[in-house]
Chain A
Amino acid sequence: MDERAAQRWFDQRLPMWRDTESDLGQIEDGKSAATAAVLRTVRAYPEIARDLAVARRIAPSGRLTRHLEQIYANLHRTLLRRPENVGHAVADLVRDVPRHIAALRWHIAATTALFIATCAAGWSMVVTYPELISLFASEAMVEHVQRGELWTDNLLNVFPSSLLAVRIFTNNIVVSLTAMCAGVVYGLGTIYIIALNGLMLGAVFAFAGQHGLASGLFSFVCAHGFVELSAICISGAVGISLGEALARPGHMTRTEAFQAAVRDGGKVMLVCIAFLVGAGLIEGYVSPNPSFSVPERLAIGVAYLLLFAWTLLGGARRWRVVEKEDTRRQRHASDAALNS
C-alpha cells in the first residue's frame, strides 16, 4: 500500500474505530446498551479484524496497530462472552450432577472406604493407647469428657443457635473445599484431609465410649452427621478425581483433563455446599437442643440424607422432566380446547 492509499484508508476508517470504541464502552459498562449500538459492534468485529491485518502490514508494532489490537481484543472478549442465565445454570446443574456422580462412583467408594478405615484406626488407637486422644482432641474437650459430660452439652448457653450454625457450616464448607482443592497434589492432599478427619472421628468416639458417652455423642451427631460426613467424602472423591486427571489425563493434556475435572467436580461441590449449609443449620438448631428425642433426630438425619442422595442421583432431573411433560400436556389440552 503506498503512502497516499494508506492515508486515505486511515482517514476513511478513523470515524468507525472511534464509534466502535464508544459503542463498546456502553456495552461493557451496562446491560442497557441500545440495540443499534450492539448491532454496529457486531458488524464492526470482522471490519476491525480486516483493519488490524492491514495495520499490521503497514506498521507491525506501531501505535495504530496496538490500538486496533486493543479494540479487537475488547470486541472478542465482549461479543463472544457466554450468556449468563441463572435458570439455565440451575438446569445445567440438575442435568449434569447425576452424570458426574455416576462418573465419580468409584472415587466415592474409595474415599468412603478410606474414611471408614481411618475411623477404625483412630478408634483402635485410642482404645489401645488412651493417652493418644491428646493428638486428636483439644484439652477442653478431654476435660469435659473426663468429667462425664460432652463438650456439646449446654452448647446453646455459650452460643446462640444462629451463630453456632453459621460457624459450623462455614467451617464445614472450608473443609470440604480444601479437601477438593488439595487434590491438586495428585490427590495426596485430599487423602491426608480425609484420613485426618476419619482418625479424629474414630478417636473421639472411642474416647467418649471409654467414659460411657458414646450414645450421647451419637445422638448429638445423628441429625446432621450423615449428610455432613457424606458431603465431606464426596468432596474428597472430587479431590481424588482431580489428582487422577493429573496422573492419568487420558487423551487430553494434563491441563485440559485437570480443568475438565474441576468443572465437573465444581458442580457436584455446589450441591454439597448447599446441603452443608442445611447440615449446619440442623447442627445449630436441632443437635444441641435437648427437646429433640433420639428417634426424632434420627428421623431428621435419615430424611436429610435421603434428600441429599435423591438430589445427587437425579431425582431433581426426573422431577423436572415430569414437570415439563405435564406442562406440555396442559399446553396441548388448552390448544385442543381452543381449536374445538
Chain B
Amino acid sequence: MFPYFQFAPQYLRKISGLRLCGWLATVRRSPMEEKLSVASVTGVDIELTIAGPGGRSYAFVIDWHIRFLLGAAWFVAGSYLYTGAVSLLPDLQAGFGAYTFTVLIPAAGIYFLYHPLLELLMNGRTPGKRMAGVRVVTTDGRTPDAGAILIRNVFRLIDHLPALYAIGLVTTMFTSRSVRVGDLAAGTVLVYDDPRLDSPSLARIGEAAVANLGLERAEIAHEVLDRWEELEQAARMRMAHSILSACDPPPPDDADDGQLRQRLAALLE
C-alpha cells in the first residue's frame, strides 16, 4: 500500500542546506501505513512500522550529502597537501601512485563503503537514517548481521540502475514491505524508530499526570493535546471539559479554548 502524504513538522524544514529535498521530508506516518508484525518467544507480537519510499529517500539523500562531502573533503585536503593547490586533476609527474593510494582511493572508499561500514557499526543505522528516524532490521525484528548488511549493500549495483536509484525506488513502491532489491535479497526491512517516543516522552507520562488524571484519562488528555489543532473547536472544548471535570477545581463553564488548553497542559507536566 502506498504511504499517505502529509506536511512535515517544521523542524525538518529548518535543516540548513536540505531545503531542496524538503519535499522528501513531507512524508510522515499515517494510520494507513504498513506494519510488520513479528512473533516473539514471549507470545506478545512486536509491531514495527515500515518506512515507505519517502522515508527511505529522505534518509538516503541526507546520507548521500554526508558521504559526498566527506569524500570531497578528504580529496581536497589530500590534493592540497600534495600539490599546494586545490585541483580536481593535479598535474603530477611523479608520485602518482602514492597520490592515488593516499588521496583518490581513500576518498572513493569513504564514498562507497559509507553505508556498509556505518550500518555495521551503528546497528543498522547511518547518520541519515538516524535523522530520518529509520533503521534496518531483519524481517524477524533483529539487528541484521554482517552478511545481511553486505548483501543489501552489494545489491545497490542493481538498485541504482539505470540512474538515480530508479530500480530501487520503483521496487519500494510496488513491494508489500516497501523494500528494494537489496532488502529482498538480504531479508531486511527499513522500519521507523519512533522519534516521538524517546526518553523524555516517557517522563511526560509521569507520575504527576497519572496522579492528577488517572492512567486512561492521562492517555486521552495527551492525545487531545497532540491533536488540538486538528480537532474542531467545539469537539476539543467538549473533550477538555470532560477530562477536566474530574479535577479540583473543575473548569468554569465559560472557559475559552486557550484556557482549556493551558489547563490541560499544566496538568500533564
Contacts and interface: CB of A to CB of B under 8 A. Distances in A.
Interface of A: 3, 6-7, 9-11, 14, 17-18, 21, 28, 45-46, 49-50, 52-53, 58-59, 62-64, 66-67, 69-70, 72-73, 76-78, 80-82, 84, 89, 160, 162-163, 166, 174, 177-178, 180-182, 184, 255, 258-259, 262-263, 266
Question: Which 4 pairs of residues, A with B, have the shortest CB-CB distance?
Answer: A49-B42, A62-B219, A160-B97, A49-B44
Contact of A184 (B181, B187, B207): B181
A49 B40 contact: yes
Interface string B32-59: 0000001010111011100000000000
Contacts of A52: 44
Contacts, number: 135
A72 B44 contact: yes
Contacts of A63: 197, 201, 204-205, 219, 222-223
Contacts of A14: 206-207
Interface of B: 38, 40, 42-44, 46-48, 96-97, 100-101, 105, 123, 137, 140-143, 145-147, 150-151, 154-155, 157-158, 181, 184-187, 193-194, 196-197, 199, 201-202, 204-207, 210-211, 214-216, 219, 222-223
A273 B147 CA distance: 15
Nearest to B188: A259
Contact of A59 (B42, B181, B215): B215
Contacts of B100: 163, 166
B219 A7 contact: no
A206 B194 CA distance: 62
Contacts of B38: 76
Given A77-B143, A182-B158, A162 B101 contact: yes
A166 B184 contact: no
A45 B186 CA distance: 27
A266 B142 contact: no
Contact of A81 (B96, B143, B199): B143
Nearest to A46: B42
Given A84-B145, A263-B147, A10 B215 contact: yes
Nearest to A185: B158
Contact of B142 (A3, A21, A62, A81): A81
Contact of A67 (B48, B145, B202): B202
Given A3-B216, A181-B155, A21 B199 contact: yes
Nearest to A178: B157
Contact of B96 (A84, A160, A184): A160
A7 B210 contact: yes
B215 A6 contact: yes
Given A49-B40, A163-B100, A266-B147, 15 more contacts: A7-B214, A50-B42, A58-B219, A62-B222, A63-B205, A70-B193, A73-B48, A80-B142, A81-B142, A81-B145, A163-B96, A258-B185, A263-B147, A263-B151, A266-B151
